[in-house]
Amino acid sequence: MVDTTRLTQAVDHFADRLRAAPQSRLQRGAAAEALALARRLASWAQAVESPGVEARVMPDAGMFAAADQITVAAHDLAVVIESDAEVAEAVGLVEEAQKRAGV
């Protein structure tokens, strides 16, 4: 079993920052960045779980749901991730998205 603690901690930190961010910051792109990350992580998890099946797209549930969406997507990925290298890659995606979001 792969230790995914680094991934869940990174995404929980990003989600906490999003929840604490002012609405203006979310509107300026932080929520869109989080949704893009959530979609990427969800697609990755679906590809592992159901190879060859077209991934469903995570819907845009609004800027105030973005933190929950990245949390769900990352925790779903953490269940199916297969190697330490993939954990590191996922953590990198989360950290880059957080930088671009500015939170």
The answer to pTM > 0.75 is yes
**Nearest 5°: phi and psi at 28?**
-80, 5
Tell me phi and psi for residue 18, to 5 degrees.
Answer: -65, -45
pLDDT tens-digit profile of 12-40? Answer: 999 999 999 999 999 999 999 999 999 99
φ and ψ of 60, to 5 deg:
-85, 105
Does residue 98 surpass a pLDDT of 90?
yes
Q: For the chain, which residues make up each domain, given as ranges?
A: 5-101
Q: How many CB atoms sit inside 10 A of residue 31's CB?
A: 24
